[in-house]
Amino acid sequence: MLKQRIITALLLAPLAVLVILWTPHTVTMAVFAVLVVAGAWEWAAFPGWNSAPARIAYAGLMAAGIAALWTSMPESPRLDVVIDVAMLWWLAALAWIAFMPMRMNRAIAAVAGFLVLLPVWLALVRLHGRDPHLVLFLVLVVVAADVGAYFAGRAFGKHKLAPRVSPAKTWEGVFGGLAASALMAGVGVYWFDVTPGPFLALCLVVVVASIVGDLTESLFKRHAGLKDSGSLLPGHGGVLDRVDSVTAAAPVFVFGLEWLGRLS
């Protein structure tokens, strides 16, 4: 499985860099939209809508939501409310994971898809519109956290992080992920020429958010009886399995950068 994950990642990495750094902003927006709609197709299984017509309908509604955001000019300050709602959602998701992971119903699963997927599209678009390198940096921070958590968890993992949600994740993995991402954040300080303290703090908060995003998808998959959200990406599963961490990390990164005055 690790070999498959590495091969898939190596194949996808150049394509991701191409889309992020070297394609026009509108094209990148469209690519992000396709990924979100593909994620919506997979998310439809969480409330139990497994038939093709049901999945098409859910993905279609998500596409309509993206179109509404797109035509409302994603750079408009009026859309800050979408990011604000996402922040509230992820705080609620953290509380849910910590205190009520066994509770679930179809309505929550269906609505949650919109609270997760629409804000991440808007957040990525806003980052890309400001500076494509911000999107690349965000991805690198999340990947560093993922890699650090994987190897630290395998080597030292003993204390379970959220056994009722994702039994394989450990606190040792969390600390390994934070350490790896802190190194990447240090690179970001020089990359973007920012004040170290606040930026490093923001990056660590972003990593915590990425963990919440990962655990949230695991929670929905567990209640739906799924191991993976799909099978499109060998070694990784579906689109959601690859971007679950980013769904929470991107809105938090945008919110933090706006608070620091870096997106104004």
pLDDT single digits (tens) 157-168: 899 999 889 888
Helix-strand-coil split of the chain, %, nearest 5: 75, 5, 20
pLDDT tens, residue by residue, 5-63: 677 667 778 888 999 999 999 999 999 999 999 999 999 999 999 999 999 999 999 99
Residues facing residue 162 across a β-bridge: 166
Helix (H, G, I), strand (E, B) or coil at 170: strand
What average pLDDT does this structure show over 169-180?
95
pLDDT tens, residue by residue, 197-210: 999 999 999 999 99
pLDDT band at residue 75 under the 50/70/90 scheme: low
Instruction: Determine contact, residues 127/253, Cβ cutoff 8 Å.
Output: yes
Q: What is the residue whose two structure tokens read 């939501």?
A: 65
Residue with the larger pLDDT of the pair 102 and 27: 27
- The pLDDT mean for the chain works out to 90
DSSP string, 200-220: HHHHHHHHHHHHHHHHHHHHH
In this predicted structure, what is the pLDDT of residue 153? 92
Angle, helices 106-130 vs 52-71, to 10°: value is 40
What average pLDDT does this structure show over 216-238?
75
pLDDT band at residue 1 under the 50/70/90 scheme: low
Helix (H, G, I), strand (E, B) or coil at 140: helix
Ranges 3-17, 223-237, 242-256: which has the least confidence: 223-237
pLDDT band at residue 3 under the 50/70/90 scheme: low
CA dihedral 246, 244, 20, 150 (to 10 degrees): 80
- CA dist 62 and 221 (Å) reads 19
Nearest C-alpha neighbor of 178 from the set 154, 155, 156, 210:
210
Handedness of CA 210, 5, 171, 134 (dihedral sign): negative
Ranges 7-11, 92-96, 181-185, 193-197: which has the least confidence: 7-11
In this predicted structure, what is the pLDDT of residue 76? 65
Quick check: 234 pLDDT over 70? no
What is the share, in percent, of the chain residues with pLDDT greater than 90? 71
